[in-house]
Amino acid sequence: MPGLCRSDPNNEGAAAPGPSSSERRTFNSTARLRTDSVKKSRPLFPWFGMDIGGTLVKLVYFEPKDITAEEEQEEVENLKSIRRYLTLNTAYGKTGIRDVHLELKDLTLCGRTGNLHFIRFPTQDLPVFLQMGRDKHFSSLHTTLCATGGGPTSLKLHKLDELECLIRGVLYIDSVMPRECYYFENPTDPDHCVERPYPLENPYPMLLVNIGSGVSILAVYSENNYKRVTGTSLGGGTFLGLCCLLTGCSSFEDALEMASEGESTRVDKLVRDIYGGDYERFGLPGWAVASSFGNMMSKEKRETVSKADLARATLVTITNNIGSITRMCALNENIERVVFVGNFLRVNTLSMKLLAYAMDYWSKGQLKALFLRHEGYFGAVGALLELLHSS
């Protein structure tokens, strides 16, 4: 099982799949041969990976489905209760949610077969989550919680490098999940813009844009060769923060819902608002935004816009800005494939289509925007892989 338990002796540092996808998808048989040795080195259950972001904590949990009767007897009670609690519910406390549609079934990890669950809850509720763990006597288990991202330093976590986890997570999920990666065909034609699977067979080099609360942009040349090109503080946190201030909404979902009903051109000043049409001399189309929120300087116009319009304009502003910066980085790094991940894109088709449009239009078709179904969970997956890898 290359990539997870260091089964390839020629590739000591490798923790994620190799380049060939056919090889990657047939790992089960080879892995079985090594089960005995693997068994000794694999960590005790439960297997978690956690990514503590600025806004959300992302948790992946591996639920073994191949538990033998012998194991079932050995399994301590509280471990059993955790397993049941997590897998039988889809919501935890007031704010924890399991993304059931993302669950990966019949996955084999370190010789064990099971399901991979994807759970998230707001970072501000982390203490509640930890308390819950204590209530369920989680701390009595001999386990390491591998975590990446931020989080209070008081937590006793096995902290991992965020970007490394992210890249490993992306490469791993793509290797086990068919149709994980997709793109929009005809991005500049709204009537014919359709989602299509994209085989990420030879992913390098790629620009990996992680849009969480803030944004990190990585140039990935190979599994272990990557760099953070730049980042911007204008990310998902900015979108939600500004939406809360402008519209009084309180959740990402509300903000997105409002945005979907609004019209940004009432808020933004467009090129055609200034020049009456296209600014041909410099190739600027009339519909391009000349000044984000530019119309809001006028009192009359402020009175005519709705909260939905403001939410939409905020979404468009943040998304376009990420698009601009990404495009410049792609040009500077000479990379044509851009993979967008992060929870900002969760249930956010508006932004994804906008990014696809912007990449295609401004690069005259040179750049391709790619998206992954597990959007925000790659860091947590990477952390889980690290747990299995390091033990």
Partner 1 sequence: MAECVGVDSSTSAHTMDKSIILPPDEIFRNLENAKRFAIDIGGSLTKLAYYSTVQHKVAKVRSFDHTAKEAHSDKLYEISVQEEVTARLHFIKFENTYIETCLDFIKDHLVNTETKVIKATGGGAHKFKDLIEKKLGLKVDKEDEMTCLIKGCNFVLRNIPHEAFVYTKHADSEFRFQTTHPDIFPYLLVNIGSGVSIVKRFDELLQLASKGQHTSVDMLVKDIYGGSYGSLGLTGDLIASSFGKSATADKEFPKEDMAKSLLHMISNDIGQLACLYAKLHNLSRVYFGGFFIRGHPVTMHTITYSINYFTKGEVQALFLRHEGYLGAIGAFLKGAEEDNPNQYRWVENYAGSSGLMSVSPDMNPMQRARSGTFDMLEMDRLERQLVKLPLLQDPSSYIPDTVDLTEDALAREYWLFCFEDALDGVVQRAVASQPDLPEAPERAEKFRQKYRHKLQTLRHQPFAYGSLTVRSLLDTREHCLNEFNFPDPYSKIKQRENDLALKYYLKAVKALEKLEWEDRQLALVSGVLAGNVFDWGAKAVSDVLESDPEFGFEEAKRQLEERPWLVDCYDQWFERLKGPPHRCALFFVDNSGVDIILGVIPFVRELLSRGTEVVLASNSGPALNDVTNGELQILTERIAAMDPVIQSGLRDERLMLVQSGSSSPCLDLSRLDKVLATLVRERKTDLVIIEGMGRAIHTNYYAMLSCESLKMAVIKNSWLADRLGGKLFSVVFKYEPTGAAVP
Picking from 160, 219, 197, 207, the residue whose alpha carbon sits closest to that of residue 385 is 160
**Least distance to partner 1 from the beta carbon of 272, Å?**
12
**Dist. CA 376–CA 205, nearest whole Å:** 21
**Least distance to partner 1 from the beta carbon of 210, Å?**
12
Choose, by CB under 8 A, the member of 17, 46, 235, 323 that binds partner 1.
235
148 near partner 1, rule: CB under 8 A:
no
Polymer length of the chain: 391
Amino acid present at 116: L
DSSP letters, 29-87, are: HHHHHTHHHHHHHSPPSPEEEEEE-SSEEEEEEEEES---HHHHHHS-HHHHHHHHHHH
**Dist. CA 75–CA 70, nearest whole Å:** 9
Query: Percent helix, strand, coil in the chain (nearest 5)?
Result: 45, 25, 35
* 263 classed as catalytic: no
Q: Which of 63, 162, 164, 375 is catalytic?
A: 162
286 near partner 1, rule: CB under 8 A:
no
Reduce the DSSP state of residue 43 to 3 states and report it. coil
Q: Which of residues 309-338 bind partner 1 (CB under 8 A)?
A: 321, 324-325, 328-329, 331-332
271 near partner 1, rule: CB under 8 A:
no
Residue 172 is encoded by which pair of tokens?
């791993």
**Dist. CA 345–CA 256, nearest whole Å:** 10
277 near partner 1, rule: CB under 8 A:
no
**Dist. CA 280–CA 187, nearest whole Å:** 23
Q: Which of residues 117-136 bind partner 1 (CB under 8 A)?
A: 122-124
Size of the site for partner 1 (CB under 8 A): 50
94 near partner 1, rule: CB under 8 A:
no
- Angle 218-257-358 from CA coordinates, rounded to 5°: 40
Choose, by CB under 8 A, the member of 167, 170, 173, 243 that binds partner 1.
243
**Least distance to partner 1 from the beta carbon of 362, Å?**
13
Q: Select the span of 24-32, 159-167, 187-195, 372-380 touching partner 1 (CB under 8 A).
A: 159-167
Tokens 């006793």 sit on residue: 156
Choose, by CB under 8 A, the member of 4, 16, 170, 242 that binds partner 1.
242
Q: Which of residues 172-231 bind partner 1 (CB under 8 A)?
A: 212-214, 228, 230
Which residues have a catalytic role annotated? 162
Binding site for partner 1 (CB under 8 A): 52-55, 122-124, 149-153, 161-163, 212-214, 228, 230, 232-238, 240-245, 269, 274, 276, 281-282, 290-291, 294, 297-298, 321, 324-325, 328-329, 331-332
